[in-house]
Amino acid sequence: MHANPKAVEETGAKLIDGNAIGAAMRAELAGEITALQQRGVTPGLAVVLVGDNPASQVYVRMKGKACEEAGLYHETIKLPKDTTEADLMSLLERLNVNHKIHGILVQLPLPKQIDTHRALHRIDPRKDVDGFHPENVGKVAVGDPTGFRPATPYGVQQLLIRTGVETKGAHAVVVGRSNVVGRPMAALLLQDGPGGNATVTVCHSRTRGIEQYTRQADILIVAIGKPEFVTGDMVKPGAVVIDVGVNRVDDPTKKQGYRLVGDVRFEEAKHVASAITPVPGGVGPMTITMLLYNTVQAARQWVRP
């Protein structure tokens, strides 16, 4: 249940470096992208941004930059915040039939006049590289490899595999049950194969005595959206801790007036865990890496249905 020696040594726990693992995986992907290009196919991703949410703008820029560096074709389509649901739907229909585009991503959150479920369900499941369409949710749940795994839990699974964390027979506790992270994470950990075969417990906001479950976890994955919710005494000694949270907390000592923290109190947990992801630099870089993987998978399946 230990991270490998390549993980950076910290006081106590080993640091699981998502930047390094993500970069290595993108390098591995380069050969497949070249092979597709030689067959006349450049994997293409369209990212749709509705409105001017500052965090969403940053994420969209990062996704575009990652596509450029990987040699993917990409389009970023920005729509005003008062865009109607009908206008967004007609755009998605056009992207569904655009042969240069293999993956479509609608950046969340959407403005309140647009039904998020309806928008996500309008994307062709074969281009749904976020893995949010019910068809892909079902495929992931039953272990169908043609389904797109949501990028963040897919990235977490790769972190575990590539740092030598044994999931088979381990007790994995997932804190959070969102459709974006918690639920698909549990499905991936349950599957038969690398990064799977775990015994999985899912905790959430209605779980009573949550610490009694987190203290049993060999692998603790926290995605609850509450700054530093998990304290050191909630972690089993020697556990592997994956912190999915990214939260801004006020910090007048910082130039920007805030600092980023995860859902785990890192300074406490690192003295108890055997390995831990930092925030930032842990799960975040893996999310964008797996989005690229899903886009290449979509192109591959489009060529070879």
Lowest-pLDDT choice from 52-56, 80-84, 102-106: 52-56
Mean pLDDT within 170-196: 97
Q: What is the pLDDT of residues 55-98, one digit of tens each?
A: 889 889 999 999 999 999 999 999 999 999 999 999 999 999 99
For residue 238, pLDDT over 80 is answered with: yes
For residue 53, pLDDT over 70 is answered with: yes
Q: What is the pLDDT of residues 269-287, one digit of tens each?
A: 999 999 999 999 999 999 9
pLDDT score at 305? 55
The distance in angstroms from the start CA to the end CA of the chain is 38
- The secondary structure of residue 83, as a DSSP letter, is -
- Residue ranges and CATH numbers for the domains of the chain are 40-125 (3.40.50.10860), 150-284 (3.40.50.720)
pLDDT score at 256? 87
DSSP state letters, 19-49: HHHHHHHHHHHHHHHHHHHHTT---EEEEEE
| Active-site pick, 14, 63, 236, 270 | 63
* Residue 51 CB neighbours (<10 A): 17
* Residue 283 CB neighbours (<10 A): 27
pLDDT score at 1? 47
Q: Alpha carbon of 302 to those of 40, 52, 240: distances in Å?
A: 12, 32, 37
DSSP state letters, 247-285: EEEE-TTSTTSEEEE-SB-HHHHTTT-SEE--SSSSHHH
For residue 31, pLDDT over 60 is answered with: yes
pLDDT score at 251? 86
Q: Position of tokens 């500052």? A: 54
pLDDT score at 2? 46
3-state per-residue secondary structure call for 172-235:
EEEECCCCCCHHHHHHHHHCCCCCCCCEEEEECCCCCCHHHHHCCCCEEEECCCCCCCECHHHC
Helix/strand/coil for 67: helix
Report whether 180 contacts 228 (CB < 8 A): no
Selection from 45, 12, 245 nearest residue 148 by Cα: 45
> Rounded mean pLDDT of the chain?
94
pLDDT score at 8? 36
| Confidence tier at 54 by pLDDT (50, 70, 90) | confident
pLDDT score at 4? 43
Peptide bond into 252 cis (omega under 30): no
| Active-site pick, 17, 107, 191, 270 | 107
| Active-site pick, 130, 218, 243, 263 | 130
Q: For residue 115, which phi and psi values (nearest 5 degrees)?
A: -75, 110
Q: Alpha carbon of 104 to those of 18, 119, 126, 143, 268: distances in Å?
A: 24, 11, 9, 22, 40
Mean pLDDT within 218-223: 98
Mean pLDDT within 11-30: 93
pLDDT score at 7? 40
Question: Is residue 113 annotated as part of the catalytic site, yes or no?
Answer: no
Q: Position of tokens 């991936």? A: 188
For residue 6, pLDDT over 50 is answered with: no
Question: Is residue 130 annotated as part of the catalytic site, yes or no?
Answer: yes
Q: What is the pLDDT of residues 7-18, one digit of tens each?
A: 434 458 999 999
